Chain A
Amino acid sequence: QQPVQSPQAVILREGEDAVINCSSSKALYSVHWYRQKHGEAPVFLMILLKGGEQKGHEKISASFNEKKQQSSLYLTASQLSYSGTYFCGRLPNTGNQFYFGTGTSLTVIP
């Protein structure tokens, strides 16, 4: 039920790009992305709906492949403030039971 994210952890230098993948074994209605900094609550980044509608956030974008039941989060020109744990979350076609992914720890160093 829980989406699987890859990689589990990544370290970047400032200015580098990163891709975080989220894969689900269940059909997806929508995919949500959140970032959680250490000791803080998760913060909403992005929602991707079935049919391609997307809401974005600054230099972060995402894709949603409904057939493959996968989503990818793209972080370009990473900044120190991008550090944190990224979670994808899925909503099924029916029902409202929300499942967060396994998480990806991202660290940006100077």
Chain B
Amino acid sequence: KAGVTQTPRYLIKTRGQQVTLSCSPISGHRSVSWYQQTPGQGLQFLFEYFSETQRNKGNFPGRFSGRQFSNSRSEMNVSTLELGDSALYLCASSADSRTEAFFGQGTRLTVV
């Protein structure tokens, strides 16, 4: 079956702009989680969506938001970008957050 697809793979944005990242989970998976990965902080949990509802949110400012659609596809939005938002953003798909997760290849965001 098809894996988790994240688009775009690479993105360069200017400080102050906003960005939207997309994640298409594995068919049948209803849980989608988002993570930020940086060399200094490792993998940090952003939020988790299940059946269009945000169930959990990590310790990130309100500039980071997301949503999930009825087909389980999810988007993540970051507004008013800062240089420190430069990172690899990973999305993970699972049948439920308590089962194994399958990761997409990530979106590499660079803020200049």
Query: Which residues of A are at the interface with B, using a C-beta cutoff of 8 A?
Result: 2, 29-30, 32, 40-44, 47, 55, 87, 91, 95-103
In the complex, A89→B9 CA distance in Å?
Answer: 25
Known: A97-B58, A100-B45. A41 touches B99 (CB 8 A): no
Determine the main DSSP class of A at the interface with B.
Answer: loop
Known: A42-B43, A103-B42. A96 touches B55 (CB 8 A): yes
Smallest CB-CB A-B distances: 7 pairs: A41-B103, A100-B43, A96-B97, A97-B56, A44-B100, A42-B103, A96-B56
Query: Which residues of B are at the interface with A, using a C-beta cutoff of 8 A?
Result: 31, 33, 35, 42-45, 48, 50, 55-58, 90, 92, 97-106
Q: List 22 A-B pairs, Cβ < 8 Å.
A: A2-B42, A29-B98, A32-B101, A41-B90, A41-B105, A42-B43, A42-B103, A44-B102, A47-B100, A87-B43, A91-B97, A91-B98, A96-B55, A97-B45, A97-B57, A98-B56, A98-B97, A99-B45, A100-B43, A100-B45, A103-B42, A103-B43
- How far in angstroms is the closest Cβ of chain B from A5? 10
In the complex, A101→B42 CA distance in Å?
Answer: 8
In the complex, A32→B102 CA distance in Å?
Answer: 12
In the complex, A38→B27 CA distance in Å?
Answer: 27
Residues of B within 8 A of A47 (CB): 99-100
Residues of B within 8 A of A32 (CB): 100-101
In the complex, A98→B43 CA distance in Å?
Answer: 10
Residue of B nearest to A33 (CB): B100
Could you tell me if A41 and B43 are in contact, using CB atoms closer than 8 angstroms?
Answer: no
Residues of B within 8 A of A44 (CB): 100-102
In the complex, A29→B98 CA distance in Å?
Answer: 9
Known: A30-B98, A41-B90. A98 touches B45 (CB 8 A): yes
From B42, B44, B97, B105, residue with most partner A Cβ within 10 Å: B42
Known: A44-B100, A91-B98. A97 touches B48 (CB 8 A): yes
